[in-house]
Structure 1
Amino acid sequence: MRKIIQNLKYIFLTALLPATISCQQQAEEQAEPNLPNVVLLLGDDHGWDETGYNGHPYLHTPVLDEMAAGGLRLDRFYSASPVCSPTRGSIITGRHPNRYGTFTPGYSIRPEEISIASLMKAAGYATAHYGKWHLGPVKSSSPTNPAAMGFEEYLSHDNFFEMDPPLSRNGAEPVIFEGESSEVLVDEARKFMDKALEQDKPFFVVIWYGSPHEPYSGTEEDLALYADLPEDFGDRMVRLTSNETGAPVERLQREVLQERFAEITAMDRSIGQLRDYLDETGQRDNTLLWYFGDNGTPQEGNATVPFREQKGSIYEGGIRVPAVLEWPARIDQNMISDTHAVSSDVLPTLLDILGSDLPERPIDGISLLPLFETNMDQRPEPIAFWNGRPRNGGEGLEDYIDPELQKGTTPLVKLMNGIATRNFRNYQYPDIREEDFSGPRALLDNQYKLVIHGDTGEDARRELFDIHADPAEENNLMDHHPEIAGKMEEQLRAWQQSVLESLTGADYK
């Protein structure tokens, strides 16, 4: 890359650059040779409590523990949503998922959204996605597949997967990749990184694991690590998907946790394999490696969650997740941060590192770069959460994308209506109605968290928590601080108005 840039400078000094050079070529030529590589890792249904460094009594996560001990440990990191697809949209866009109709699993992103991968590609990065996509089908005809969102290469799945995952390479028919799925993804990602290094380009690689989402499985070696869980641990029946039939089944939680923990340990090991690769290629120091979960622990895995509720809830148990980050060139000592951060912060943070401007539309995340430099101990603006839902379940609304293009192709174990694939939807919103403001919602500032359930108006149920003094959200302070709650509700309502304006498509005009 250094030789290329020197040659370009020479050409520019001796002759004018041809006017026909494309914008994409210009962006690539202007890329700095010392830009950091970026690797984003996302666990599927991996809750805050399920790491050794957060005090889990049985789980083995030595790699994440090492990252937490040597890099930046984000102790108050949140997923933008308590379920997976919306959080993934927030990472890609820096925006709350309700802005573009990705309300819950099964709802796609919209083609007009500006993706962090597209922005990184324009800055000269080689871009690739591996694993769970869940923002629309990954087939080649989908207008919301990873390629449409700026990833030059992808090996991806519409939804989640287990051992021997069926994956689509760049939109082709899915093919079975034999092996432990987390290790499969990292092995394929390393091949892409090799090519990027040969081309002297920085790489932006996104690895979204299928683990530890149910149904669970593991290698014999990983299962053996948890063969002797105490008899009083997980001593209840839980409901999940059968690996044999794809239908719901009830099992003893302790047996389920053995398999779940095995998946987490395998995922952790694959992160270690990735770090070893970065060491071997001399890329470790200048690679920003960021891991976090996409939502809280699901009901069948809930055995040690210290917070209120679990996946699907806007209480802490549904949205507070583990997060660790390494970047030795910029973070050369251990840092533990209690500053509130959220998955929507990824795009603004990376653009700040590049010195690039934010897209000209509402962005809900903020840059965490000052936090890396120990210049931010409080968040300058609150985080808003909204577990939204389509109006009338979508009845009466027009499809945003042709339903044929929203049909999935990659199979998974869990059957839905007897089908092993998943289809997606997204709706047009021509107007804003009062009912659109309903649904579980919350506003989190540096001390308090306002939680509102139900419809709008006096019938809504409101709670206020001092989130640092009461992380389990047990003591409702509404009667003690009505003025604080009232001001926060006004802020939340104004933010919802902005979100709904985006949902009508106003940002694309």
Structure 2
Amino acid sequence: MSGLAQSEQRPHIILFISDDHGWNDSGAYGDGYIKTPSINQLAAEGMKLTHAYAATPLCSPSRCVIQTGLMPHRNGGHKFGTPIQSGIMTMPEYFKKAGYYTAHFGKFHHNPRKRFPYQHIRKDETAAASFLMNYKRKQPLFLVVCSHPPHTPWVKNEIYDPSKIKLPPNFVDTPETREDRARYYSDVTLMDQMLGSVINVVDQKGWKDETLLIYTTDQGSNWPFSKWCVYDGGLRVPLIARWPGEIDPGSIAGGMVSLADLLPTCLNAAGEEIPAGIDGKSFLPMLRGQRTSHREGVFGTHTGNDNGGPGIANACPARTLRTEHFRYIVNLSPETPFTTHITGCKSGPHYLPHWDSWLKKAEKDPHAAQLVRRYLKRPQEELYDYRKDPFELNNLASHPEYAHVMKSMRVQLLEWCESQKDTEGVKVLNPLR
């Protein structure tokens, strides 16, 4: 194997992590209009996971989970921009210790910076392909590429016809929504090109068979009921892995995984022992086709963010448990209006006109009014049955026939919050059980 003279069978490992990419916004995950040839190629040549979930629906808390294998309250970085606790090992430390050369390109969104000592760091994610092409070290490479797209501001749309875009049922159909959606699609396509440049270099160098290449994103897209929200739109993510000879091409796995599982999975692939005491669990056996399941359920948390000020900052914490068929949510501050950059930002590069168009349409349209109310005002508890309601439109928390599901999931979530030393979650859940 070229490039692995001193590392024997240990693979190069590349994580490509985009920013704010909706789980089903690619051809590989069922969108027939969006142009994502690189993601589609990766899925055709590797395994597509259909039930992967971020631990939290905001950028920096989610990336701290990926980098540590610890859920938000255990690593400490559960609020946007807050640092991880002392004494916690991170991805670059684990892989440097394992003999890998570590490099990070693009968005570096975890604090404090010194706790993530990659040996090579560049802000420009587009420089990753050149670095990879010129990499000649004998050490195996652990490379993380974090694209800025499709985070806002989105690029100008010169590709898509807004009228041809299929909107999900939890969107309000307005011209502004379609124009924003076309710009978002354009940014997804830009990100896909960046991914393609990395894939092409791996293949051109002859590294394809000796490289575990994983694509995912930090959380859901920057749309209502997605980012900032502990719904599937905010927590469910695309996850595709390619490793010829180890992962069957064109395979699909429906087992539930958390992004906390990425660290132990990559260490497992490198032949390293999985650290004791972390929350993540290796899903390498599922990638290799040795298992069809991984977790019975995945937990998620949201604390919020202060940046942006009143009307933009989000102070609506939530906890959630997702199983195969259900999602249970407890909102810790249901009395607080759910504000985000979507609702409060009215100018500048991050302004998205579609929200104001939703408000205007809601003045006369009952469906629009209902969606706006649901976004701005969250009840204490929510329950959704994905077999009947994949877009989480019908809250079943008060339905007597689901009382047993509510009781069981409340207890599970409470016990998990206790294990995480999540005092805020425990305080709210305890009286509900």
Q: Which residue is equivalent to 2:128? A: 188
Q: Deviations over 1:17-59 (max 9, x none)?
A: xxxxxxxxxxxxxx73220111111111111231122232531
TM-score w.r.t. the length of structure 1 is 0.65
Tell me how far 1:338 sits from its aligned partner.
1.4
Give me the TM-score of the superposition, normalised by structure 2.
0.76
SS in 2 for 1:230: helix
- The whole-number CA distance in structure 2 between the counterparts of 1:88 and 1:451 is 22
Q: Which residue of 1 aligns with 2:210?
A: 286
Letter in 1 for 2:158: A
Residue identity opposite 1:385 in structure 2: G
Matches within 5 A, 1:105-504: 105-136=80-111, 144-145=112-113, 148-156=115-123, 185-192=125-132, 194-195=134-135, 198-217=136-155, 223-226=157-160, 228-230=161-163, 252-299=176-223, 309-361=225-277, 363-388=278-303, 439-454=317-332, 461-473=380-392, 474=394, 476=396, 479-500=400-421
Cα pair 2:36 2:188 within 8 Å, conserved: yes
For 1:230, give the aligned amino acid: S
Per the alignment, do residues 499 and 189 of structure 1 end up closer, same or farther by CA in structure 2, a change over 3 Å counting? farther
The 3 A distance-change label for structure 1 pair 232 and 211 is: closer
The one-letter amino acid of 1:293's match is T
CA contact (8 A) 2:93 2:116 kept: yes
The percent of aligned pairs where both chains have the same amino acid is: 29
C-alpha distance after superposition, 1:245-272 (max 9, x if no partner): xxxxxx9344333332222112111211
Deviates more, 1:125-134 or 1:440-449: 440-449
CA drift at 1:455: 5.8
Q: 1:462 to 1:479 in 2, by over 3 A?
A: farther
SS at match of 2:27: coil
Relative to 1, partners in 2 of residues 1:380 and 1:311: Cα closer, same or farther, differing over 3 Å?
Answer: closer
For residues 344-368 of structure 1, the C-alpha deviation after alignment (integer angstroms, 9 at most, x for no partner) is: 110111122233333343x222111
Q: Deviations over 1:274-330 (max 9, x none)?
A: 11111111101111111112111212xx6xxxxxx2211111111112221111131
Change (3 A) 1:252 1:484: closer
- Find out whether 1:97 has 2:72 as its counterpart: yes
Deviation of the 1:501 alpha carbon: 7.0
CA–CA distance in 2 between the matches of 1:487 and 1:119? Answer: 37
Which residue in 2 is equivalent to 1:248?
A: none
Check whether the contact 1:189–1:205 (CA below 8 A) recurs between aligned residues. Answer: no
- Check whether the contact 2:47–2:247 (CA below 8 A) recurs between aligned residues: yes
Paired AA for residue 303 in structure 2: G
Do the aligned partners of 1:75 and 1:338 also contact (CA within 8 Å) in 2?
yes
Root-mean-square deviation over aligned CA pairs: 3.2
| Secondary structure of residue in 1 paired with 2:145 | strand
How many Å apart are 1:491 and its aligned residue? 2.4
Structure 2 residue matching 1:47: 3-state secondary structure: coil
For residues 16-35 of structure 1, the aligned pairs below 5 Å read: 32-35=7-10
The match for 2:46 among 71, 76, 89 is 71
Question: Offset at 1:115?
Answer: 0.7
Conserved? CA contact 1:288–1:326, under 8 Å: yes
- Structure label with greater radius of gyration: 1
Which range moves more in the overlay, 254-263 or 36-45? 254-263
The AA in structure 2 aligned to 1:471 is P
Residue aligning to 1:22: none
